Amino acid sequence: MLQATELLPGAFHVPLARLADARGAFVKTHAVGALARLGLHFELREEFYSLSRRDVIRGMHLQLPPHDHDKIVYCPQGRALDVLLDLRRGKGYGRSRGVLLDAREPALVFIPRGVAHGFKALEDDTLMVYKVSSEHAPTHDAGVRWDSFGFDWDCAAPLTSERDRRHPALAEFDSPF
């Protein structure tokens, strides 16, 4: 049975079983029944991945209503500092949390609607897989600038995209959640 640790309200870190033998390893990354037993109801609509060099920071990303989505992420290769930012109005607004994702210790992170996601690759060739509950809608794509909410990324010279550098700061983000 999967055990989950709550990172933010409704956001969970879920360690996964890794079966290893002389051939290599096997990890089950998606099981509807196991997620449901944790109270997580997720309907997969789209899946994609990113491959990043060390010190790449991607984020903080989300989609706005009505195309907002729940997201499941995991790291099958390399290591990443996975970061969540709560953009839901209320007492938790602006709260962030980071968790290590390491391919050698498989785990997934469940991210509910209204929580932005990003990560920092901790080694070259870090592979991140994303499962989302809605299809990408470019007109509803949004984000918050990665360096605007007080999270310590421990990175003097991050590699970021122009798109991520153009996201508004948290203080300028008008949350619809």
pLDDT in tens, 7-24: 999 999 999 999 999 999
- Whole-model pTM: value is 0.95
Max CA-CA distance within the chain?
53
Centre a 10 Å sphere on the Cβ of residue 88 and count the other Cβ atoms it contains. Answer: 19
Domain membership of residue 27 as a residue range:
5-172
What pLDDT sits at residue 3? 84
Q: What is the CATH number of the domain that holds 91?
A: 2.60.120.10
Average pLDDT, the chain: 96
Domains held by the chain: number: 1
Q: Which residues pair with 131 in a beta bridge?
A: 47, 72
Q: Is residue 155 part of a domain?
A: yes
Q: Is residue 108 part of a domain?
A: yes
Which of 83, 162, 152 has its CA nearest to residue 118?
83
Q: Is residue 142 part of a domain?
A: yes
Residue pLDDT, tens place only, 111-164: 999 999 999 999 999 999 999 999 999 999 999 999 999 999 999 999 999 999
Q: Is residue 177 part of a domain?
A: no
User: Under a CB-based contact definition with an 8 Å cutoff, are residues 49 and 154 in contact?
Assistant: no
What pLDDT sits at residue 62? 97
Q: Is residue 118 part of a domain?
A: yes
Which of 87, 41, 27, 31 has its CA nearest to residue 63?
87
Which of 55, 77, 46, 51 has its CA nearest to residue 141?
46
Q: Is residue 147 part of a domain?
A: yes
Which of 163, 171, 174, 157 has its CA nearest to residue 61?
163
Catalytically active residues, by annotation: 61, 130
User: Under a CB-based contact definition with an 8 Å cutoff, are residues 115 and 175 in contact?
Assistant: no
